[in-house]
Structure 1
């Protein structure tokens, strides 16, 4: 492959990646910004990206909107903050007149500060719902009838008595309309017995199968999921596009967002409990790869990836780890109970621990990405 071809391949990943990450970060910080302004806090800077400023402007309220050289993130700097992580500038705070203090972040009540902080992750979830709603309303949803074609030898389905041409009607009493519905239920039910009702030769037959835990390649890397051991009969007659109105699209989008939240939260919980492997973590290299792949599929697929990534970033930021939004909320919860904030020394130690954790997580995810590339 020539140098120009290599550059084209890299650009084909980087540009979609910057687009996806840019809109996710922008809306996250916009959540902080809007609620901060609503609470009467002055915003000194809104930055998309870190490091030296490429370009920017100052709006009529005195906020510097800037584009940073390093595009991996962003921040909102409120008046009186020492940095974009909302660390208080103690020297500046001590000398502030009361009128100026009222428009600072640290000068707000604990409830207002909590609302400003939680607005970022919530904006990520709202963004996902908006994107999913648009996709369902404009493109509809491809539905594959859950008709069994092939059955894996010695798999859970074979052991349960599934037969070719069985049409799956329900799982544990939940009606399924597509093969995707079946996959989603099965994937989160490894080693859990499930009751299937299938249509077979004009009769309803009840089968009990226990999906087996297997590692499979997903859009973000390897994942341990439940596997039934069946393939759908993906003939043209079994496919159709389901169209939806705006209200139904919103309902489906809300369900889709909750599904991704549940999946991601289950993995994170399993990670901390030692049930999930860290080799499933993906970093910016893998996300860039997937962004490039989705861009080739189409703009809707790229937006779908942005929605999923937005949810993941929202959940990550809610973890009770100092430096992240969840860490701030943890401190505010303690402050609300105690009636006063933790002293600065304890908070500083916590932020250093949080920074170490976040950097370690980024290094581990990047290492996993490089390991996948070498394989």
Structure 2
């Protein structure tokens, strides 16, 4: 299956599943509260499939556009209601009941995340052990006492079984406090604590490249300096380099591994580099003019070449995050809480300008990650579903008109003042909400397009 088709299919499954679960929250609680549900729709637009079922003959709809959904309840504000059914209308419920029905959607998003994480941890999540590779001289990490070969066991009391978990815990802790405490295991098996400060480091750096800023590189097996795949029409291929070439020297620098090649090329954008190579036991010299590429840290050089694919990851670097039935549930709840709070903090920092709005993602980026995670494996896709579900839950709780959080804000005002906001005020706020959401969606789509364009 092509990358586009797999991403599109994964996006449909992701949004369809999460939206259905979100709307089921509204539906289930409304039914429990005695409110009559007229329609349960997953998606908008032309119905692809419909059926009526249940004592109330609720209409179930699957529509053509899976970018949303809704639950339509009996409501006197939307038409005449028979006298004998007025007690089952949404608008006649107490404010607490209406609050519960609306809040149920986002709450079910968090429940879905907990279930996904629980199943993921029950199956087991393969990962790479958080073993420190290179520690930059005179860096924050070097000053704190980190050494190559140290294994990170905890950050501020949170376990770090894999590099993936380590990065999340590092970001979460650094946004909460400036003082970080690492518990590490040295190569000789001894354990000790190290303290370092992240005071003065911007939220943007914390989010994207905190490890590098601290001076820590994850341990990687040494890659030999052998060319693998070359980009079509890239500088390397155009200059005559070929897959399988062994790089002996670049300019006057003798090369011992692939990362030395990468560092040298990145440091010399738009320059001619002399490559001394060995090809089929014959030494050759080929000159390559590097291209330049702008990244967040500046301009780097590139030649459009990758290394020869490495062999299997050494067993000592592999680990597995797996828990028992009940422990998986505890860890799942903890992970959902952590990522929910982290998402809310990141939104807050976008609003204050501490984090760039370029981090917003739209359907194109979501589709890409959905396809990639589905191709990696079931547990990776479960993690992706849980993270997106948390994002939907947090987003829907924001006090923005048109979202669940906007309706909850109306109900809170009603609780305080003893009467609902007037229809005129609600209509004006809905207009503001529509404009805000359109701007947000446009910005997310713009970011998607810019990512595609590189």
Q: TM-score, normalised by structure 1?
A: 0.87
Change (3 A) 1:97 1:63: closer
The aligned runs of 1:278-289 (5 Å cut-off) are: 278-289=357-368
Correspondence for 2:395: 316
Does the 8 Å CA contact 2:135/2:142 hold for their aligned counterparts? yes
Distance 2:391 2:88 in 1: 32
- Answer yes or no: is 1:75 the counterpart of 2:60: no
Correspondence for 1:157: 141
1:98 CA displacement: 4.0
1:105 CA displacement: 1.0
Correspondence for 1:192: 178
Distance 1:206 1:68 in 2: 55
**Deviations along 1:209-268, whole A, 9 cap, x unmatched?**
23455858xxxxx94463333233354213232432211111111111112112211101
Does the 8 Å CA contact 1:26/1:74 hold for their aligned counterparts? yes
1:57 CA displacement: 0.5
- Answer yes or no: is 1:230 the counterpart of 2:309: no
Change (3 A) 1:269 1:165: same
**Deviations along 1:91-138, whole A, 9 cap, x unmatched?**
x2xx54443221111111101000000000000000111111111112
Distance 1:239 1:124 in 2: 32
**Deviations along 1:65-87, whole A, 9 cap, x unmatched?**
01111111111111127xxxxxx
Correspondence for 2:103: 118
- Answer yes or no: is 1:270 the counterpart of 2:375: no
- Answer yes or no: is 1:207 the counterpart of 2:191: no
Greater C-alpha Rg: 2
Does the 8 Å CA contact 2:373/2:380 hold for their aligned counterparts? yes
| Secondary structure of the corresponding residue to residue 88 of structure 2 | coil
The aligned runs of 1:62-141 (5 Å cut-off) are: 62-80=57-75, 88-89=77-78, 92=79, 95-138=80-123, 140-141=124-125
- Answer yes or no: is 1:37 the counterpart of 2:31: yes
Distance 1:274 1:326 in 2: 23
Correspondence for 1:58: 52
More divergent stretch after superposition (246-255 vs 173-182): 173-182
Does the 8 Å CA contact 1:26/1:48 hold for their aligned counterparts? yes
Change (3 A) 1:298 1:100: same
Distance 1:151 1:279 in 2: 30
Change (3 A) 1:112 1:214: closer
Distance 1:153 1:11 in 2: 46
Correspondence for 1:239: 318
Does the 8 Å CA contact 2:158/2:169 hold for their aligned counterparts? no
Q: TM-score, normalised by structure 2?
A: 0.72
**Deviations along 1:317-340, whole A, 9 cap, x unmatched?**
000111100000000011111111
1:46 CA displacement: 0.7
Does the 8 Å CA contact 2:161/2:319 hold for their aligned counterparts? no
**Deviations along 1:261-297, whole A, 9 cap, x unmatched?**
1221110111222222111100001001111111211
Change (3 A) 1:38 1:247: same
Correspondence for 1:254: 333
More divergent stretch after superposition (332-341 vs 150-159): 150-159
Does the 8 Å CA contact 2:155/2:170 hold for their aligned counterparts? no
Correspondence for 1:146: 130
Does the 8 Å CA contact 1:131/1:304 hold for their aligned counterparts? yes
The aligned runs of 1:284-295 (5 Å cut-off) are: 284-295=363-374
| Runs of 4 or more consecutive aligned structure 1 residues displaced over 6 Å after TM superposition | none
Distance 1:17 1:197 in 2: 39
Which segments of 5 or more consecutive residues in structure 2 lack a partner in the other structure? 221-313
Distance 1:289 1:282 in 2: 11
| Secondary structure of the corresponding residue to residue 253 of structure 1 | helix
Correspondence for 1:85: none
Which segments of 5 or more consecutive residues in structure 1 lack a partner in the other structure? 82-87, 217-221
| Secondary structure of the corresponding residue to residue 162 of structure 1 | coil
Correspondence for 1:48: 42
What's the Cα RMSD here?
Answer: 2.4
Does the 8 Å CA contact 1:125/1:257 hold for their aligned counterparts? yes
Does the 8 Å CA contact 2:414/2:420 hold for their aligned counterparts? yes
Does the 8 Å CA contact 1:158/1:229 hold for their aligned counterparts? yes
